[in-house]
Structure 1
Amino acid sequence: MKCKTIVGLFLMSTLAVFSQNASVVSPNKKISVELRNSANTQVGGWYLKVNYSNDGKISEVFQQITLGLDRADQSFSTALKYLKTSKPNLINEHYSVVHGKRVQCTNSANEVVVSFENQGKSKLNLIIRAYNDGVAFRYEFPEKGGTFVVNDELTTYCVADSTKRWLEKFNPANEGLYTSSKDGNLQQDWGYPALFNTPDKGCWYLIHEADLDKNYCGTKLSNVAEKSKYKLTFPDQWNGRGQGEVKPTITLPWKSPWRVVIIGSLSDIVESTLVDDVSTPSIISKTDWIKPGIASWNYWSSNHGTKDFKKVCEFADLAASMGWPYTLLDWEWDTMGNGGKLEDALKYIHSLGLKPLMWYNSGGNHTWVSSTPKDRMLTHENRVEEFTKLKKLGVAGVKIDFFESEKQSMIQYYLDILEDAAKFDMMVYFHGCLVPRGWARTYPHLMTYEGVRGAEWYNNGPEFTTTAPEHNTILPFTRNVVGAMDYTPVTFTNSQFPHITSYGHELALSVVFESGIQHMADRPEGYQDLPDAAKTFLKEVPNAWDNTKLLDGYPGKDVIIARSKGNAWYIGGISAERFPKNKTLSFNFLPENVKYKLTLISDGEHDKKLVTEYMVVEKSSVVKVRLLGRGGFVACLKPIL
């Protein structure tokens, strides 16, 4: 009996030591990650357990994140032998960015590396990091030599019943609406990022991936097999018109993209830069040619506007009158007429002190869209020839559209474009594309992505008229968290289908939505007919920020965001709800003993009316704001010197 007790105590001690060595805690002690074995032994299948602690209350984020990879030659999943866990390593890196929600960022986490081997003695490492605002993990094959196909990635997030979730049905252009639910009864493929609120309401988390490179494909989430389990899955064969291989091919040594979960309060989610933090640092040392800014854009109000030289000039005049640095020539610039051709338009744009941006079809058989110019970005030789011409013409950047796939070959194409563009000091933004994967840190001339159902959907049918208000209040907690978002906002007039959002709501989108190049989508009179205060606000509002704070909000209901540039703060607030409401603005994010002049522009007596108030505020001040149904407001705070 005594011998059995000693053996039992030894086993318990061994397991406790093993569990402790395979765990990591965030620097602020709020987030913990534990590696566990499904059979409670040192050989078999493995999973991660994640907890979040706030003021002594512990929320279970994931009871289980299943781990594993299947290569074509062998499996790394159910028969992995634990070898060792490294000593915890503090990652502590500070970096700055040219554009985004925060200019100074910190990549700070505790990291451990867990080593395994499979039955064939091949090695697999699992790199786990715990951040103050989330967790990240990635797989590593450390051995050198060999090229293999990955048949499947087994990473699966097991989500507890009664977890509130906001998910977007996957489509290759990532232009769907988010659906909210409290269960997993909708079973299908879902796009990134995916937002969840734990059953106890104590914790929010957002699932994404980052640092995707040429050695893998993009993935998505699928709960088709089991409703509570969201498994990473590869692209479908039909994506990109069937072009490219579904399964990625890797060459050893190899690391997977980071599997990222942002964790905490809603403000932790909105303010996080975790997707960029874990991504590869900038490969561009000289960045003075990368200039974030606002652009005028004619496509929303006139789908064939760039065919018309006079229309192009009208939008250039708009940008000049508003002090915006850019105007975009969208599709059909190669068939421009009515008084001038492309060269005439570029000459006119430059004469106003503006920089032109130009649209391209991504080309190739991966897209059915025949719009021209097509194929000029498709190969390295094409791009060098085209970028050489554009550089001589004084074009500052290119918008490239219709990628329609996240297969490995398409990921390689995206990154080839960015690498070639950098050699010509050419800014880039992608449309009809994937959502951000942290590339803006590596390639800071990547200014923005579409990957969102934006304002152009007012041209696609009547649906967006009714869904836009709620959609707009979900995006700051989901899609725009993970990177720049080219929604093409701030439209006061109507396009093919009308708005039901107020002027205050539309004005606020200039602050609520973040994009390295912000395309103001309305026609010239939409801005020219605004009251002076609103017009001045749009002339002055930045689009690259020093800091970002969530002041209030809940996805699908309302959101208030404050962003700073220099000593000034800009606030945007919007509501999705049908009836008027009052919101309270507090300014506790301001420094002590500094007074600010507040310019508040909010909804008036009806949805096309704005009212402006001026007052002096400080850190302790409180201001009431009235929003109409589906309304909004903006505020600008400048220190009184």
Structure 2
Amino acid sequence: MAVPIRTAVAALCAGLAASLLGGGPARAGQDTGSAAHVWTVSAPGPGAAAQAPRARVSLDGTTGTLDLSVSRGGRTVIEPSPVGIRTERADLSQGLRFLHRTDRLVDERYRTKSGKRLDRRSWMNETRLSFGTAAGARFDLVVRAAADGVAYRYVLPGGYGDVLGETSAFTLPADARAWLSAYRADNEGQFAEYSAGSAPTGSYSDQALFATDGGYTLLAESGLSGAYSGARLAHDQGSGTYRVTLADDRIHSTGGPLATPWRAMVTGSLATVTRSTFTDDLAPASRVADTSWIRPGTVLWTWLAGGRAAGQSLTAQQAYVYYAAARHWPYEAVDAGWYFRSDQWDTTDPDWQTDSWLPQLTAYARAKGVGIVVWIHQRDLDTPEERAQWLPTLERWGVKGVKIDFMNSESQSMLQWYDAILKETAEHHLMVDFHGSTIPKGIQRTWPQVMTMEGVGGEEKRTNTSAHLTTLPFTRNVLGSMDFTPGGFQRVGQRPNSDAAEAGLAVTYESGLQMLAGSPESYDARPLARDFLAQLPAAWDDTRLLAGAPGREAVLARRGGDRWFLGGVYAGPARTAGVPLSLGAGRWLVETIRDGAGGLVQDRRVVRGGDTLGVDVVAGGGFAGIACRWHPGVTTCHR
């Protein structure tokens, strides 16, 4: 019997629509109910397809399971990796059927207060794939692709109960090089190099870097809040798969819709990964309307110069304020010892605040043009009542920022505490430095008063290695400001690097509040380093990687105004390092500080943009430098 033309055309149109929605035709010999579907998502922009990452999502028509892979320039970055989530009332990891697809362009411009550069653009394609089960459960898989990364998240309607876990994972070629940090609640582990398959069985931080023939890929997370819990990676030796596990066995639901954090893959050349702001670009927009009170800058922090013995008294702290003012450093940090715990105070006494000498210090510092940042233990801010005591009081005293320590958890309950403290510090105009903390996961875009976070094996660690120092610019510091606290010159024999490298770390490592961990005496003994640190801008306009190999060398250039600041750190033997001066055409005056036989030495030379700058570095050493445009009459880049 002949099929009417109108019916045949309708069938053809339906088939074409199904093919377009599914990203490809059904497999031969199967009906559309059991066929595999494939969808691809690429970065926007002409010519982006050549080197930008491309995500590929596949639905197995037999098992109803999803996987996601990533390629770049036709080469594998992430192999097909499972995708899915399980809740109390629905298993959304298998038995799935495709429902529909929607696409949109994300194009957002925003400005930050600190970071690799202040002006940002979040420009990415987004595809939302909706799936359902035979029992009627449904969810959306949202995939985004940008020039420097791919990310996905799950969006669930309300009424599905608590989240019990994800089947999310990342599968790498087993021979891919890997730089991993064993998981610690404070995120202060060292990074070590393995292959993806040879890494020992265990849990690792989700800031994991891999190198394949498709380039470098840094795994990350963004958009984390108290609606969920933090992620880490679980790995079995011999496998290239790293499974996402959560801090909580059960994530409590509010009963409403849920959008999980982004599972992000920052990918590209090493320079692209290092310069990327992808995890910030994914995060929600700023929730602070007026940011005029948020001011980054250099901080004098003397705790590593002797702890309480460094002078936890008004007289000692006034001396430090005086020193900071002389260097034009805008802040001085007061660590433990300045206050009694709030549960020891009689807050019914109207004079309870006088138990601290801090108000006198802030008044003295204000007259000198210096702001005060204070350390405080999280246990003294963990209830609404304690925060209502502390935060308004600190604001009234004129304190500019709080350094909150010892959260040591990414559980949902602790993340809910973060949600509360972030809102309240913004209300009381207090900048924040989190220690013993999670790592930045888009938090600095959403809450720009977060100037920096620890979450790193920093200067205070006596077991750090040169290899660890040269890996951090490509792992932890990619994700946001890092309070490594460089400048601890007095710690001779307790750090693996040289004095010139120590000066350069203030540039190599970005931090909105760059806390310099030395003593005034140690700076005065090294006037070249002291004067270099006094030149540091409050924030950076741009960042470039000049040379790098994780675990071996890292040389970064950061621009402040019309000057570029250089910082280099190296592992291994002494050498003459070659640094491509990729700062722009024309002539540049470059001033470098290196290690000499009798201490620090400064060199000046005029070179052309694109030339290779030769710098002598000692074993485990490095350098610091400033580059400015040269023309006749210019003899120094210092101001």
Please give the range of the TM-score, normalised by the shorter of the 2 chains.
0.7 to 0.9
Alignment of 1:305-454 (within 5 A): 305-334=310-339, 341-363=357-379, 375=380, 377-454=381-458
Q: Distance in 1 between matches of 2:183 and 2:445?
A: 25
**2:583–2:610 contact (8 Å) kept in structure 1:** no
Residue 231 (structure 1) aligns with: 243
Matched, 1:504 2:517: no
Residue 314 of structure 1 deviates from its aligned partner by 2.9
Residue 617 of structure 1 deviates from its aligned partner by 3.1
Q: Distance in 2 between matches of 1:132 and 1:262?
A: 9
Q: Distance in 2 between matches of 1:343 and 1:474?
A: 41
**1:300–1:522 contact (8 Å) kept in structure 2:** yes
Matched, 1:529 2:528: no
Q: CA RMSD in A?
A: 2.4
Q: Distance in 1 between matches of 2:154 and 2:450?
A: 27
3-state SS of 2:162 partner = strand
Which of the numbers 457, 460, 473 marks the counterpart of 1:456?
Answer: 460
Alignment of 1:559-598 (within 5 A): 559-577=554-572, 579-590=573-584, 592-593=585-586, 595-598=587-590
Q: Distance in 2 between matches of 1:13 and 1:447?
A: 50
Residue 345 (structure 2) aligns with: none
3-state SS of 2:26 partner = helix
Q: Quick one: which amino acid aligns to residue 34 of structure 1?
A: R
Alignment of 1:154-233 (within 5 A): 154-182=167-195, 183-198=197-212, 200=213, 202-224=214-236, 227-233=239-245
Q: Distance in 2 between matches of 1:76 and 1:48?
A: 15
Residue 351 (structure 2) aligns with: none
Q: Quick one: which amino acid aligns to residue 581 of structure 1?
A: R
Residue 223 of structure 1 deviates from its aligned partner by 1.2
CA-to-aligned-CA distance 1:90-141 (integer Å, 9 cap, x gap): 2222211111001111111111111100222121100111111110111111
CA-to-aligned-CA distance 1:40-82 (integer Å, 9 cap, x gap): 45x61110121111xxxx3211221211111011210111111
Change (3 A) 1:19 1:193: same
Residue 380 of structure 1 deviates from its aligned partner by 2.5
Structure 2 gaps of 5+ residues are 1-15, 342-355, 632-639
Matched, 1:514 2:510: yes
Q: Distance in 2 between matches of 1:631 and 1:26?
A: 39
Q: Distance in 1 between matches of 2:38 and 2:194?
A: 37
Residue 226 of structure 1 deviates from its aligned partner by 7.4
CA-to-aligned-CA distance 1:276-318 (integer Å, 9 cap, x gap): 0000010112111000001111211111135333332332222
Residue 240 (structure 1) aligns with: none
Structure 1 gaps of 5+ residues are 1-8, 237-244, 364-374, 459-463
Q: Quick one: which amino acid aligns to residue 512 of structure 2?
A: G
Matched, 1:106 2:121: yes
Which of the numbers 64, 78, 88 marks the counterpart of 2:94?
Answer: 78
TM-score (norm 2): 0.87
3-state SS of 1:24 partner = strand
Q: Distance in 1 between matches of 2:611 and 2:270?
A: 23
Residue 147 of structure 1 deviates from its aligned partner by 6.2
Q: Quick one: which amino acid aligns to residue 40 of structure 2?
A: S
Q: Distance in 2 between matches of 1:147 and 1:81?
A: 18
Alignment of 1:266-281 (within 5 A): 266-281=270-285
Change (3 A) 1:307 1:127: same
Residue 479 of structure 1 deviates from its aligned partner by 0.4
Matched, 1:134 2:149: yes
Q: Distance in 1 between matches of 2:229 and 2:259?
A: 12
Residue 60 (structure 1) aligns with: 76
3-state SS of 1:333 partner = coil
Change (3 A) 1:405 1:246: farther
More deviation, 25-34/271-280: 25-34
Q: Quick one: which amino acid aligns to residue 601 of structure 2?
A: V
Residue 622 (structure 1) aligns with: 612
Residue 22 (structure 1) aligns with: 39
**1:602–1:626 contact (8 Å) kept in structure 2:** yes
Which of the numbers 282, 298, 303 marks the counterpart of 2:286?
Answer: 282
Change (3 A) 1:342 1:620: closer
Q: Quick one: which amino acid aligns to residue 202 of structure 2?
A: Q
3-state SS of 1:630 partner = coil
Residue 225 of structure 1 deviates from its aligned partner by 8.9
Residue 217 of structure 1 deviates from its aligned partner by 0.6
Q: Distance in 2 between matches of 1:147 and 1:314?
A: 59
3-state SS of 2:481 partner = coil
CA-to-aligned-CA distance 1:552-599 (integer Å, 9 cap, x gap): 11111111100101111111111111x211122333332x44x33321
Identity of aligned residues (%): 31
CA-to-aligned-CA distance 1:446-496 (integer Å, 9 cap, x gap): 1110000111123xxxxx2xx33221101001000001100111121127x
Q: Distance in 1 between matches of 2:445 and 2:204?
A: 25
**1:19–1:34 contact (8 Å) kept in structure 2:** no
**1:156–1:231 contact (8 Å) kept in structure 2:** yes
Q: Distance in 1 between matches of 2:538 and 2:501?
A: 17
**1:187–1:223 contact (8 Å) kept in structure 2:** yes
Which of the numbers 463, 469, 481 marks the counterpart of 2:478?
Answer: 481
CA-to-aligned-CA distance 1:11-41 (integer Å, 9 cap, x gap): 9943499878621122311321111124x45
Number of residue equivalences: 586
